[in-house]
């Protein structure tokens, strides 16, 4: 351990490795938001000049977001976050197309926002197929093709998995859906800003996004809806967002999301390359700790910032507490709102044993990673793992 590394750690005071859960807002994002609280506070729907700047802030944000996924500005609709976007996509398409069919296809490894929207639809009489995944977390394309029948209206498959980082072959899935004439929704909350997304090339009809996973504020997200897609509204009221999503816009949040998207677009290659290199470096260093197993896909099929490992004989719940005391913040499974750790449906779906699942921990990070940080980080992980193992608990 170098002196400089420790100095860096004490300066930071914390080693935050939970970027998949949320990120710290970038300074430029906050700076962009602040004027929209007290200066440009007008209601964007009003027609007087005070509101013009507010309206243009929203338009600019849409423009920046559309560039990140290669769609038209008019195809971006703001929501209260990724969860609302997923709910809207799935329920909205189901309700609007029920004359065509009542069958939806998704996977066993989706985010709760997708899975629970599907469960809700099942309670209303819709039929849902939950596709299995292989040991790395991939959906089999043949299985998907076979699952589509003449009652199928929607396929919802996430872009990159929030727990194990596995990214699906989205372009191939999009092609299958287009060929079979069913709508394709993807939850791209984790992938946005991290990997290239092109809704046109990938045949994506509907795509969910969230600001707080890309250094924007919490409580704002967006749904891309391709022009012509038949989808019902979920929120009825004053007809904002061109009549599709009512409610006075969260203007500072939307402006912050737009700035975060602009920064992600501008710095894309530099940040992504950096994060991928560090991920590979951290994985190599963690594998030097005896009894370490990497979960999920590797290489280009993995989200740049995701590491999921099982340390043999080390219960992750205990490890998280030890790490917390050492100033390292990470996640295991999916933290439910009560703060307890539930057995991960994703790790179960990729066929890990209960033991491996209980020993699994997720480290996610971002553009501000550095050599000094990883040096201290890996050192602390090694100490914590060895301590727990020597206590034999
Ligand atoms: C975080 C997340 C969501 C939910 O987004 P919120 O903005 O927190 O509601 C949905 N899907 C995935 C894959 C996520 O990681």
281-315 pLDDT tens trace: 999 999 999 999 999 999 999 999 999 999 999 99
209: CA distance to ligand 1 center in Å? 8
63-110, pLDDT tens digit by residue? 999 999 999 999 999 999 999 999 999 999 999 999 999 999 999 999
Active site residues: 336
Q: How far does residue 30's CA lie from ligand 1's centre (Å)?
A: 21
Decide if 3-17+268-392 and 27-266 have a common fold: no
- Which CATH code is given to the segment(s) 27-266? 3.40.640.10
8-state DSSP, 159: S
CATH no., domain 3-17+268-392: 3.90.1150.10
pLDDT digits (tens, 9 = 90+) for 165-209: 999 999 999 999 999 999 999 999 999 999 999 999 999 999 999
Q: What is residue 294's predicted lDDT score, i.e. its pLDDT?
A: 97
Query: 192 CA to middle of ligand 1, Å?
Result: 11
What confidence tier does 342 reach under pLDDT thresholds 50, 70, 90?
Answer: confident
pTM value? 0.95
Beta carbons within 8 Å of 306's beta carbon, 6+ residues apart: 20, 160, 164, 165, 190, 279, 296, 362, 364
Of residues 349, 282, 272, 263, the one with CA closest to residue 303: 272
> CB under 6 Å to ligand 1: residues?
81-83, 86, 111, 113, 158, 162, 187, 189-190, 210, 212-213, 221
Residue ranges covered by each domain of the chain = 3-17+268-392, 27-266
Provide mean pLDDT across the span 264-277: 96
Is 129 strand, coil or helix? strand
pLDDT band (50, 70, 90) for residue 343: confident
Using the atom order of ligand 1, give the atom closest to the CA of residue 22: 1
């Amino acid at each position: 351990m170098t002196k400089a590394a420790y100095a860096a750690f004490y300066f930071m005071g914390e080693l935050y490795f939970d970027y998949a859960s949320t990120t710290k807002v970038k300074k430029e994002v906050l700076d962009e938001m602040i004027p929209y609280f007290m200066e440009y506070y007008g209601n964007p729907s009003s027609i007087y000049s005070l509101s013009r700047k507010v309206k243009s802030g929203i338009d600019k944000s849409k423009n920046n977001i559309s560039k990140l996924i290669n769609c038209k500005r008019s195809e971006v609709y703001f929501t209260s976050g990724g969860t609302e976007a997923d709910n809207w996509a799935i329920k909205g398409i189901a309700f609007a197309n029920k004359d065509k069919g009542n069958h939806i296809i998704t996977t066993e490894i989706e985010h709760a926002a997708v899975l629970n929207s599907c469960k809700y639809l099942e309670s209303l009489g819709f039929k849902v197929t939950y596709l299995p995944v292989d040991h790395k977390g991939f959906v089999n394309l043949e299985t998907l093709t076979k699952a589509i029948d003449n009652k199928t209206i929607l396929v919802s498959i996430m872009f990159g998995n929030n727990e194990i980082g596995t990214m699906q072959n989205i372009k191939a899935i999009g092609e299958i859906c287009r060929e079979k004439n069913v709508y394709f929704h993807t939850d791209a909350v984790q992938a946005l800003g991290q990997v290239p997304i092109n809704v046109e090339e990938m045949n994506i009809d509907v795509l969910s996004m969230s600001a707080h996973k890309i250094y924007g504020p919490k409580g704002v997200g967006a749904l891309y809806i391709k022009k012509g897609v038949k989808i019902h509204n979920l929120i009825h009221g004053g007809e904002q967002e061109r009549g599709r999503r009512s409610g006075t816009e969260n203007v500072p949040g939307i402006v912050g999301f737009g700035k975060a998207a602009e920064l992600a677009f501008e710095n894309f290659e530099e940040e992504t390359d950096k994060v991928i290199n560090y991920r590979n470096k951290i994985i190599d260093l963690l594998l030097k700790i005896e009894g370490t197993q990497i979960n999920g896909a590797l290489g280009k099929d993995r989200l740049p910032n995701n590491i999921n490992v099982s340390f043999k004989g080390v219960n992750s719940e205990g490890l998280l507490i030890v790490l917390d005391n050492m100033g390292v913040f990470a996640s295991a499974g999916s933290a439910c709102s009560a703060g307890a750790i539930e057995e991960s449906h994703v790790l179960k779906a990729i066929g890990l044993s209960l033991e491996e699942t209980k020993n699994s921990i997720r480290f996610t990070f971002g553009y501000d990673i550095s050599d000094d940080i990883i040096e201290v980080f890996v050192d602390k992980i090694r100490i914590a793992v060895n301590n727990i193992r020597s206590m034999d608990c």
